[in-house]
Amino acid sequence: MTGETLSIRVFRAKSEIVNTTIIENRAILDLAEDAGLEIPRNRTSGTCGTSIVSLTSGTVPIPDEILPGLDEYLNNEGGILSCCLFPTTSCEIDITPPI
């Protein structure tokens, strides 16, 4: 990351519920929890899919091999696993998964 302050804005539908600063090497779920928002989760390894949210803007790199909790369809619809993925730019997410 550069010297600029990056942020993550979290929405439920069109209502913003959290706006917090991105800390390098902290997963989205951890950043949300630090700001007082609990995102459902079971584990933090990307295998169960419980922490899936929708990325609406910004960059959150997905590994070349999609994690078991996220299939290609959900990934193409903007789904990301908040428990184990790390934003690299300011971004916006909606805690409603892309179903």
Question: Residue 95, Cα to own-chain centre: how many angstroms?
Answer: 8
By three-state DSSP, how is residue 88 classified?
Answer: coil
The two beta strands, 7-12 and 91-94, are parallel
Residue 80 located in a structural domain: yes
Q: Which residues pair with 80 in a beta bridge?
A: 53
| pLDDT digits 0-9 by tens, 46-74 | 888 999 999 999 999 988 888 888 888 99
CATH of the domain at 90: 3.10.20.30
Tell the burial category of 58 from Cβ atoms under 10 Å away from its Cβ (0-12, 13-18, 19+).
middle
> Rg of the chain over CA atoms, in angstroms?
12
| pLDDT digits 0-9 by tens, 10-52 | 999 889 999 999 999 999 999 999 999 999 888 778 888 999 9
pTM reported for the whole predicted model: 0.87
Number of domains in the chain: 1
Residue 2 located in a structural domain: no
**Residue with structure tokens 């091999």?**
65
State the residue range of the domain holding 77. 7-94
Residue 1 located in a structural domain: no
| pLDDT digits 0-9 by tens, 80-99 | 999 999 999 999 999 988 87
